[in-house]
Amino acid sequence: MASIQTIKAREILDSRGYPTIETMITLDNGIVVSAAVPSGTSTGKHEAVELRDNDQSRYYGRGVLKAVKNVNEIIAPVVIGQDPTKQTTIDQILVNLDGTPNKSKLGANAILSVSQAVAKAGAATVELPLYEYFKQKYQIVQNYHIPTPIFNLINGGAHGAGNLDFQEFQIIPASNKPFYKALQIGSEIFMKLEEVLIAKGAVHSTGIEGGFAPNLYTNTDAFQLFFETITRTPYVVAQDVFLGLDAAANYFFHGGKYKIRDRNDAFSTKEMIQFYKEVSQQYHVFSLEDGLAEDDWDGWKAMTTELGGTVMMIGDDLLTTSKERVLRAIQEKSCNAVLVKPNQIGTVSETVEVVKIAKDAGWQIVFSHRSGETTDDFIADMAVGLGADYAKFGAPDRGERVVKYNRLLQIESEIAPVPASPAVSPTPSGMPSTFAPRT
């Protein structure tokens, strides 16, 4: 079996122009792979630590030379010589080397760059596509399923122009569509949305995740805009396509209240839940991510009790791809879906463990990009190989987003699925019947 011969990290730029880290691994059989890690803008306080230099003379403190040095001088000497197919063993070495609960010593960005490169090297060693390698190695799923895409078409919050409180306004094609058709739906609605914005004389520049960042008055205006746009396409809301929302509530949570521009007075947790209920009923919102703040556990439980029968309640900042937080959420019935971001936890093995736990609980699995992305398409293969139900990679534009959707297209062509019959219910694949989007 091949062994790791060299490990070399370097500083590169992400899609925002901020530094991030890329690591290259060379095996003794000549195989060379590399992995680049993304970075978040809206990050939860419970995420593993992304190590930055804080040297104001370089990139205004955002450099990652410390993380690069940790890979080259601390991690590499210990991992060189290891069998790249021994993912769990190597990941545990990385965790032990760091020795902190949040990877603050070496940096989750340093650790993940090595962990992901190891996975690529392992797949190359056994001559398997990365998605097939994940499927065979972890055996979480028996049959392939290309995740249903979640398109972030309007950017707000920390990702937009500052005039919308909610972070992502999304469209979700019905999951009875084959992926290539779902991608077509997302792209065509995106094109039509630009036409509508231009016709209205509205701002149609894009945010950092590729979606538009228009100058709207309220958050619900974005849903109205979606309805107006979709009626100008061949598609039907609540039949061909559904709406989703990533509220990213930490952004507008202050002093124990939720303050958004749709009402003069701040919302209590109970009032915020009622607002989401009304929006869900009016606009066929099928998916709600981070509707409440990251530590509002009682509120999350009440929100899922109230809405979870018909709405996919996704925990991101609440869960941060953390085993401990996911287990707590399962016990308390705080949500019914997990957003999976490997850089929130720091290793491939820990990410896989979270996916297994969530699947065993009957939750939906949503793999996600970050706002600061690279052109590495690793996460697309991982999503397929671990049986993700959904994939959230941003709008269908910008190279760092499109490369991941295009990779899913390529995988779909390789596994050659049989397109679902149009007569099939638009209930998302694998989701209990109680989650059927309203028609």
Q: Which of 308, 317, 379, 320 is nearest to 348 (CA)?
A: 379
The answer to whether the CB of 351 falls within 8 A of the CB of 54 is no
Strands 19-27 and 32-36, bridge-based pairing:
antiparallel
Determine whether 73 is an active site residue: no
Is-contact 154 211, C-beta < 8 A?
Answer: yes
DSSP one-letter code for 319: T
Residues 6 or more apart in contact with residue 143 via CB below 8 angstroms: none
Q: CA-to-CA distance for 439 and 434, rounded, in angstroms?
A: 13
Query: 210 in the Ramachandran plot: left (φ > 0), alpha (ψ -120 to 50) or beta?
Result: left
Write down the residue that tokens 């850089």 correspond to.
343
Nearest C-alpha neighbor of 340 from the set 325, 354, 330: 354
Question: CA 278 → CA 143, 241, 272, 284, distances in Å?
Answer: 37, 19, 10, 10
* Annotated catalytic residue 45: no
What is the C-alpha separation between 133 and 139, in angstroms, rounded? 10
Kindly name the residue from 341, 359, 392, 404 that is annotated as catalytic: 341
In angstroms, the CA 72 to CA 66 distance is 10
Q: Which of 22, 132, 209, 400 is catalytic?
A: 209
| Residues acting as catalytic residues | 209, 341
